Structure 1
Amino acid sequence: MGFKIIILPLAEKEIDESIEFYESRSKGLGKQFLSYLKSYLKVLKTNPQLFEIKKEPYYRELTLVKFPFVIIYEILENDVVIHSVFHTSRDPQRKP
């Protein structure tokens, strides 16, 4: 059974800004980032419990390998709620 992915507005904004940033650096890199991110979302859709709770009571983190981001999410029944796609160079105190 697959989980439903719900991307909250903050995470959507972070994704859009990251795509724009990468695209401004190199044509096609923004699309590559989005494609790569989607592959990680597929993992969360099928097995979000693979990744441990990093911040109590329920926030989990999935670190991207090729890009410096962490997907911060929680599992609510049959939904995976994406709270942030957090750039790892940002202040960790600002993580949700």
Structure 2
Amino acid sequence: MVFKIKILPLAEKEIDESIQFYENRSKDLGKQFLTYLKSYLKVLKTNPELFEIKKQLRYRELTLIKFPFVIIYEIIDNEVIVYSVFHTSRNPKRKP
């Protein structure tokens, strides 16, 4: 089964800010981050159940390896709802 990915506004904002941050650090690094993130989203499209539930019996987390982020999401029917693309150096208590 292929799932539909729905990225909520908070996650969109976090992605945009991260791309801008990496672009300011090094040319094309933001583009690399986005490409890398998209590869993880493709995994979620086909296998979202692979990653364990971490919070409140429904939210799952997928940890990126190359960049310090986790994708926080939930599966509802045939849709993967992405709530946050959370930078792991931030205060974990602020994690959605």
Q: Could you tell me the TM-score, scaled by structure 2's length? A: 0.99
Secondary structure of the equivalent of 1:66?
coil
Counterpart of 1:72 in structure 2 is 72
Counterpart of 1:24 in structure 2 is 24
Distance in 2, matches of 1:79 and 1:21, equals 29
Unaligned runs of 5+ in 1: none
The Cα RMSD (Å) is 0.4
Counterpart of 1:30 in structure 2: which amino acid?
A: G
Distance in 2, matches of 1:35 and 1:85, equals 14
Give the superposition deviation at 1:88. 0.2
% of aligned pairs identical?
80
**1:58 aligned onto 2:58:** yes
Secondary structure of the equivalent of 2:2?
coil
Q: How many residues are aligned here? A: 96
Distance in 1, matches of 2:46 and 2:32, equals 22
What are the equivalent positions in structure 2 for 1:75-90 lying under 5 Å apart? 75-90=75-90
Give the superposition deviation at 1:87. 0.1
Secondary structure of the equivalent of 2:80?
strand
Distance in 2, matches of 1:95 and 1:28, equals 28
Give the superposition deviation at 1:35. 0.1
**1:45 aligned onto 2:45:** yes
Unaligned runs of 5+ in 2: none
Q: Could you tell me the TM-score, scaled by structure 1's length? A: 0.99
Distance in 2, matches of 1:52 and 1:18, equals 25
